[in-house]
Amino acid sequence: MVTLSVLVDWRFDDVVHDELSNLDETNNCVDVSVRLDDGQARWLTFVTPDYLKQLLEDWSDRTLFTS
């Protein structure tokens, strides 16, 4: 039998703003905390496709793995 938890509460953890350009009105990256009816808590990050694109472009010149 599968038991599903139900969302009880959620909140924005920070002021909604764009981390990459520091523009408050763009809302490209948002952290949200949720609480479920069984007592579990989760932290979620929502981003727009434009935010991900900019993030990847910023990292494109960096080496992630070195030999």
Q: What mean pLDDT comes out for the span 1-6?
A: 92
**66 in a domain, yes or no?**
no
In the block, residue with structure tokens 């981003």: 47
Domain of 17, in residue numbers:
7-59
The three-state DSSP-derived secondary structure of the chain is CCCCCCEEEEEECCCCECCCCCCCCCCCEEEEEEEECCCCEEEEEEECHHHHHHHHHHHCCCCCCCC
pLDDT at 51: 81
Task: Let me know: does 16 contact 30? Beta carbons within 8 Å.
Answer: yes
**1 in a domain, yes or no?**
no
- Can you give the pTM of this predicted structure? 0.60
Q: For residue range 5-62, what is the model confidence (pLDDT) as tens digits?
A: 999 999 988 776 656 666 555 557 888 999 999 999 999 998 888 888 888 887 776 6
**26 in a domain, yes or no?**
yes
pLDDT at 22: 60
